[in-house]
Amino acid sequence: MTRRTFLTASLAAPMLARPALAAEGPIKLRYLYDRKAISELAKSSQGKRISVDGYMAPPLKAESNFFVLTRRPMSVCPFCENEAEWPSDILAVYTKRVVDVVPYNVKIITSGILELGSYRDPETGFVSLVRLMNASYE
């Protein structure tokens, strides 16, 4: 192997690597989706505790145990009517306790059990396609 081949291969290796699960830190929200569909990484992580980083969108209502995690700061909640309209850059997060609201422009890390598939929250009517259950955040 020549020096040039080694350097080229070592520079390309990080771009070819698949995103790792929590062992190497939180998953980026974009890795849960693949062109507006659920990614293979998300499918293989279903039912497992994962960590995801992002921003807390303003809650739908006060005293809630639910919030939406977004890829970038949003000053309004991206509420959807059904899973067909589910954006590929948000994640529903259900916590065990009432949510202490974090300013929408402060990055947080959430951890919870990943669930996939259509779910309508009976209290808010919010429909999610991808969500974290029994979650915590910091």
Q: Average pLDDT, stretch 47-53?
A: 97
pLDDT in tens, 101-136: 999 899 999 999 999 999 998 887 888 889 999 999
* Distances in whole angstroms, Cα of residue 114 to Cα of each of 49, 62, 120: 6, 24, 16
pLDDT at 10: 46
**More confident call, 111 vs 62:** 111
d(CA 65, CA 30): 24
* Distances in whole angstroms, Cα of residue 3 to Cα of each of 10, 12, 27, 91, 96: 11, 14, 33, 44, 54
Picking from 31-35, 40-44, 48-52, which range would have the lowest pLDDT averaged per residue? Answer: 31-35
| pLDDT greater than 80 at residue 7 | no
pLDDT at 80: 44
pLDDT classification of 77: cutoffs 50, 70, 90: low
3-state secondary structure of 116: strand
* Distances in whole angstroms, Cα of residue 129 to Cα of each of 14, 21, 79, 84, 132: 30, 20, 12, 9, 11
| pLDDT greater than 90 at residue 72 | no
| pLDDT greater than 80 at residue 86 | no
